Amino acid sequence: MTPNPVRHAQQNEAPKIGSPLRTLALCFASLAVMALWPLLGILLLRTQFESASDAYFFFGGVTMFPLMILALFGSVSEEVIIAIFMVVWFAVALLPAIVLRKHLAARRAVGALLGVQALFSFAQAVMGALLLIGRSV
């Protein structure tokens, strides 16, 4: 019995475990999963904002605590804090998908990664909301 050439061609065209398309799709999925909680926090608490930069608290609430060490050495500009928030947030969203792409072959592994990223984003957003609410009390 000869192999079906169409089926054989389709199997060869299937995305490989570490393929760029699969990695890109995983990066977009990570961004989508992580963006949900900060955007929801911004929508719910935008009336508490003193300035537009307060929205960045939802992307870096937990990150604020290690940054308090920088305050011991002098004042840190708001732009630097926002830049650090976003670098940490994007690093958590994109680096695991890129670095671990060959280890994320199973759907359970991808689901676990997206779940951990969603929990991290949720923690960032909750802490950002608490910082924002605590400032106004």
In a domain, 73, yes or no: yes
Q: What percent of the chain has pLDDT over 90?
A: 19
Can you list the positions of beta strands (E) in 61-120?
Answer: none
Structural domain boundaries enclosing 90: 19-136
Tens digit of each residue's pLDDT (9 = 90 or more) over 63-86: 888 878 877 887 878 888 888 888
Per the CB < 8 A criterion, the answer to whether 134 and 54 are in contact is no
In a domain, 132, yes or no: yes
pLDDT classification of 39: cutoffs 50, 70, 90: very high
In a domain, 42, yes or no: yes
In a domain, 14, yes or no: no
Evaluated on CA atoms 48, 54, 56, 59, the torsion sign reads negative
DSSP 2: P
Average pLDDT, the chain: 81
pLDDT of residue 19: 76
Mean pLDDT confidence for 103-129 = 87
If one counts the domains in the chain, the total is 1
Structure tokens at 129: 């909301």
In a domain, 58, yes or no: yes
pLDDT classification of 16: cutoffs 50, 70, 90: low
The pLDDT of residue 116 is above 80: yes
Q: What is the pTM of this model?
A: 0.76
